């Protein structure tokens, strides 16, 4: 019950990791099934519609339900500790954000058991996603992503406020760790990008459920409108995903090189520039749509410009390692694997930014190779690096380095085996999203290699799960600071106590903990005397608010469905289910407004007892 009602950012972080990890496995299984079907020419295992469902759900699950929550897991578990705060600004909203995401993702995945998953591709282009061309699955996509999207949006707002308002005394913006900076910029991107996809999904929902005409060409609608709305969200989304990974890599490279991050201020500025330019390049996904030479040229040049701040980051990481005392821990192996892999993904990105060339590459496996190099080779490598790095701080136990190396090498080699050949498959003309191909077209060998690589990545992931299980059986014996690291989160016990900091620390410079170590201090200088600590109370309301929207979603989706029994027809066709779901949510909101909860305090005596134990 404690986990359903918790508003503690550390527990919510763990919930995000569990849910994101579950969806990551689901998306990974879908990917392996796709690669089984494409292993040999002319296979008939997952054909046509089934393949489209696998493909759509793989993309949607990995982007919205695996990558995003894993990033939010890190933001929840680490950001308050890095800035010296006791919790996020709005603990209740934090919990609500998680449960909305969870129920949205659950709704989307229930489509497998309720008449078929969405099958219009993860980008859900109209008119493919209209009810003329696709089944009920797209209703699940539209409603599930809206519910999950609200959760992400309020999470982003929460972290913006937390980072602006909750920093410890002395922690100016230019003293924040880079992971905090990237999370800050990411939250701002979420704030501006998610409304666009929300509008698009609402319009698609009206088309599908309430006879709207936004994308119905025969009624004066416009199918290109969906592409604009989707990509105005979709391109910032890839920076929402990759920037926190950049932050993690910056922390890891700096810690394991025993050096301050090279060019800190340029790293911060580069992050801002990437966030800013990320909103100006969306139409590079639409070069073949027919926007005309002027628009294509402008978006092509803007896209190439993003390579500049990204290059700044790459060189700063290399210069941080230059002359450093480098330790090859598993966390650092992932970071070192990240850098060249991400550069390769970036190079193909610049190739795709040339509109004339893009006419050749577009909708081929070259594009698939490109975005997997940046999202798997960038984001997922970054996430694994962060997991090995912060695992002791989150759980109090160190992951096995030996098993970790098995995980790394299987996944790393498997990744390159899977996606490197796909560049060439695309260049010789294999279109993406096809479920089979003819023999003797020069596609057989590379598809076979690609599928073998996918199995190796699967083996690597199993090794990681084994690592988690054997580590979970050990006793909690991690030191406060097992890596001899530089930032505030390593100044407190592992795992962090529920109040985080007994006394708010005083920050005296960049890499606050390292500064104290260099001054010969054993711990942080406190900024306040020991006093009672105010804690927020847990609440079950976020769970029921989200459950209400989940029920309402079903009510709206099946509002026009004809059931076999009259009872169900009455309930759904009169929107009674939808109304009652919304009613649950609204009643919870009312209760939250009327009932004033002042939280509770941990008294000084308790703190001193805990201090003795620690």
Q: What percent of the chain has pLDDT over 90?
A: 96
Q: Band the pLDDT of 596: cuts 50, 70, 90.
A: confident
**Which residues, in sequence order, are CB contacts of 95 under 8 Å at separation 6+?**
5, 6, 7, 12, 539, 542, 543
CA–CA gap between residue 249 and residue 378 (Å, rounded): 10
Q: What is the pLDDT of residues 270-320, one digit of tens each?
A: 999 999 999 999 999 999 999 999 999 999 999 999 999 999 999 999 999
**Quick one: pLDDT at residue 211?**
92
Count CB-CB contacts under 10 A for residue 608. Answer: 11
**Which residues, in sequence order, are CB contacts of 280 under 8 Å at separation 6+?**
299, 302
| Residue 399 CA to its chain's centroid (Å) | 22
Q: Band the pLDDT of 612: cuts 50, 70, 90.
A: very low
The pLDDT of 195-201, averaged and rounded, is 97
**Quick one: pLDDT at residue 382?**
98
Q: What is the pLDDT of residues 86-120, one digit of tens each?
A: 999 999 999 999 999 999 999 999 999 998 999 99
The pLDDT of 62-70, averaged and rounded, is 98
Closest C-alpha among 370, 375, 333, 331 to residue 353: 370
The pLDDT of 429-452, averaged and rounded, is 96
The pLDDT of 174-185, averaged and rounded, is 98
Q: What is the pLDDT of residues 129-146, one digit of tens each?
A: 999 999 899 999 999 999
Q: Are 528 and 503 in contact (CB under 8 A)?
A: yes
Residue 533's DSSP bridge partners are 602
Q: Band the pLDDT of 611: cuts 50, 70, 90.
A: low
The pLDDT of 235-243, averaged and rounded, is 97
Q: What percent of the chain has pLDDT over 70?
A: 99
CA–CA gap between residue 550 and residue 414 (Å, rounded): 38
Q: Are 476 and 395 in contact (CB under 8 A)?
A: yes
The pLDDT of 218-234, averaged and rounded, is 96
- Cis peptide leading into residue 127 (ω within 30°): yes
Is residue 442 classed as helix, strand or coil in its secondary structure?
coil
Strands annotated E in 261-362: none
Residue 431's DSSP bridge partners are 364
**Quick one: pLDDT at residue 610?**
67
CA–CA gap between residue 208 and residue 215 (Å, rounded): 10
The pLDDT of 237-264, averaged and rounded, is 98
Find where tokens 């279109």 sit.
431
The pLDDT of 506-521, averaged and rounded, is 96
Residue 364's DSSP bridge partners are 431
Is residue 328 classed as helix, strand or coil in its secondary structure?
coil
**Quick one: pLDDT at residue 36?**
98
CA–CA gap between residue 437 and residue 365 (Å, rounded): 13
Average pLDDT, the chain: 96
**Which residues, in sequence order, are CB contacts of 315 under 8 Å at separation 6+?**
none
The pLDDT of 450-469, averaged and rounded, is 98
The pLDDT of 181-210, averaged and rounded, is 97
Cα-based angle 485, 491, 493 (whole degrees, multiple of 5): 110
Q: What is the pLDDT of residues 545-586, one digit of tens each?
A: 999 999 999 999 999 899 999 999 999 999 999 999 999 999
Look up residue 174 and give its two tokens: 């230019």
**Which residues, in sequence order, are CB contacts of 439 under 8 Å at separation 6+?**
41, 42
Is residue 391 classed as helix, strand or coil in its secondary structure?
helix
**Quick one: pLDDT at residue 613?**
44
Q: Are 375 and 241 in contact (CB under 8 A)?
A: yes
**Quick one: pLDDT at residue 560?**
87
Q: Band the pLDDT of 509: cuts 50, 70, 90.
A: very high
Burial of 506 (0-12, 13-18, 19+ CB in 10 A): middle
């Amino acid at each position: 019950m404690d986990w359903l009602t918790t508003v503690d950012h550390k527990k919510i972080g763990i919930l995000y990791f569990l849910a994101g990890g579950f969806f990551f496995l689901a998306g990974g299984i879908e990917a392996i099934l796709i690669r089984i079907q494409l292993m040999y020419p002319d296979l008939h295992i997952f054909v046509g519609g089934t393949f489209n469902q696998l493909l759509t759900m793989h993309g949607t699950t990995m982007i919205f339900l695996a990558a995003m929550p894993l990033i939010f897991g890190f933001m929840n578990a680490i950001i308050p500790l890095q800035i010296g705060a006791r919790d996020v600004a709005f603990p209740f909203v934090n919990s609500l954000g998680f449960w909305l995401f969870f129920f949205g993702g659950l709704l989307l995945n229930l489509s497998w058991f309720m008449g078929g998953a969405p099958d219009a591709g993860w980008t859900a282009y109209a008119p493919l996603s209209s009810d003329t061309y696709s089944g009920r699955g797209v209703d699940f996509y539209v409603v599930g992503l809206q519910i999950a999207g609200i959760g992400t949006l309020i999470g982003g707002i929460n972290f913006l406020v937390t980072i602006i308002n909750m920093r410890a005394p002395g922690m100016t913006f230019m003293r924040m760790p880079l992971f905090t900076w990237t999370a800050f910029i990411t939250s701002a991107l979420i704030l501006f990008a998610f409304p666009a996809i929300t509008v698009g999904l609402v319009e698609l929902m009206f088309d599908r459920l309430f006879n709207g005409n936004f994308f119905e060409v025969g009624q004066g609608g416009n199918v290109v409108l969906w592409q604009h709305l989707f990509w105005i969200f979709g391109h910032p989304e890839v920076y929402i995903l990759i920037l926190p990974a950049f932050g993690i890599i910056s922390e890891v490279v700096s810690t394991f090189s025993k050096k301050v991050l090279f060019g800190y201020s340029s790293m911060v500025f580069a992050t801002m520039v990437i966030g800013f330019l990320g909103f100006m390049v969306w139409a590079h996904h639409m070069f073949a749509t027919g926007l005309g030479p002027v628009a294509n040229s402008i978006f092509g040049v803007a896209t190439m410009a993003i390579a500049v701040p990204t290059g700044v980051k790459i060189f700063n990481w290399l210069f941080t390692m230059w002359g450093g005392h480098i330790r090859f821990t598993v966390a650092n192996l992932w970071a070192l694997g990240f850098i060249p892999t991400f550069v390769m993904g970036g190079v193909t990105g610049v190739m795709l930014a040339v509109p004339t060339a893009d006419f050749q590459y577009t909708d081929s496996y070259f594009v698939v190779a490109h975005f997997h190099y940046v999202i798997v080779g960038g984001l997922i490598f970054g996430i694994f690096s962060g997991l090995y790095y912060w695992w002791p701080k989150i759980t109090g136990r160190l992951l096995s380095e030996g098993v970790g190396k098995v995980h790394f090498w299987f996944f790393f080699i498997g990744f390159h085996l899977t996606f490197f050949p796909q560049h060439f498959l695309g260049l010789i003309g294999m279109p993406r999203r096809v479920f089979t191909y003819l023999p003797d077209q020069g596609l057989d060998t590379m598809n076979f290699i690609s599928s073998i690589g996918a199995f190796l990545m699967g083996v690597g992931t199993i090794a990681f799960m084994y690592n988690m299980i054997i580590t979970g059986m050990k006793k909690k014996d991690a030191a406060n600071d097992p890596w001899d690291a530089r930032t505030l989160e390593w100044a407190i016990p592992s795992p962090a106590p529920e109040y985080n900091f007994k006394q708010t620390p005083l920050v005296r410079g960049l890499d606050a903990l390292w500064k104290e170590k260099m001054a010969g201090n054993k711990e942080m200088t406190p900024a306040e005397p020991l006093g009672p600590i105010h804690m927020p109370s847990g609440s079950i309301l976020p769970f029921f608010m989200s459950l209400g929207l989940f029920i309402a979603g079903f009510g709206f989706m099946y509002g026009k469905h004809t059931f076999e029994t009259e009872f169900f027809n009455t309930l759904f066709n009169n929107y009674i289910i939808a109304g009652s779901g919304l009613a649950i949510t609204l009643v919870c909101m009312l209760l939250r407004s009327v009932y004033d909860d002042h939280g509770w305090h941990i008294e000084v005596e308790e703190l001193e007892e805990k201090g003795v134990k620690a």
